[in-house]
Amino acid sequence: MSYTPTELMICSAARLLEDGAMVVVGTGAPCAAAMLAQKTTSPNLTLLFEAGGVGPQLPRMPISVGDSRTFYRGIMATSMADIMETCQRGLVEYTFLGGAQIDQYGNLNSTVIGEYEQPQVRLPGSGGANDLASFCWRVLVMTPHDKRRFVERVDFVTTPGFLTGPGAREAAGLPPGTGPHRVITNLAVLGFDDATKRMCIESLHEGVSLKDVQDHTGFELVVNQDPATTPKPTDEQLRVLRHEVDPHRYIIGRS
């Protein structure tokens, strides 16, 4: 079966969510990835939503984190405070986050483009992004790949990645072992080098070259070895994604 870049990103993200894990998700592509994982390889994946839904069996794509569907057949209907406390206690393996900019250390910006006092663009801000990135064990990002987003240094650190490099998160008081884990784009799957904490290439999507990825990145990526090829979506993944997760193509229908 043929597939789109968006479908490849969602299927690649779904593979990262192992059975039995807990993940905080929002709406859009991250929610589609979590739903796909729950319906295929990870039936015991527990989804948490910032508004308080815990462990729902989503009947269809919610339109917001407070949508009643985020509580459907859930194990608990609680509050934002309880969701954040659960993350703070170290019980949540994954969170999906995003932003207008991401840098080589995985810091995200969703606050301003340009100087903070006189910005070129004022963005929505943090919401719960700072808290989730600070306390969940692994941060996952899904984003289009271009130089405007992948910048050497973000204009504002809304969401902490590895900050300025090795040891910086711990020096800021954040829990050791937490931080950015994977960045899934329309060109590649990216990770972070253990020694330098800089962004590195884990795999290239089929038909994409190393040069293609570097040309769309505003900083030098770490290449430790010949990158693998990102696995294609399986027929089963595509069937479930298209007919059960997003039958009205709210997400996968976007160009």
* Residue 50 bears catalytic tag: yes
Closest of 27, 83, 36 to residue 236, by C-alpha: 36
* DSSP conformation letters of 61-113: --SSTT-GGGGTT-SEE--HHHHHHHHHTT---EEEE--SEE-TT--EE-SEE
| Element housing 239 (H / E) | helix 235-240
Residue of 7, 18, 50, 93 marked active site: 50
Overall size of the chain counted in residues: 255
Cβ atoms of 204 and 230 closer than 8 Å: yes
How many Cα atoms sit within 13 Å of 130 on the Cβ side? 11
Cβ atoms of 186 and 141 closer than 8 Å: no
CA distance 255 to 253: 6
| Angle (CA) 31 15 135, round 5° | 60
Cβ atoms of 248 and 13 closer than 8 Å: no
Residue 98, amino acid: G
Tokens 């020096």: give the residue: 171
Residues with catalytic roles: 50
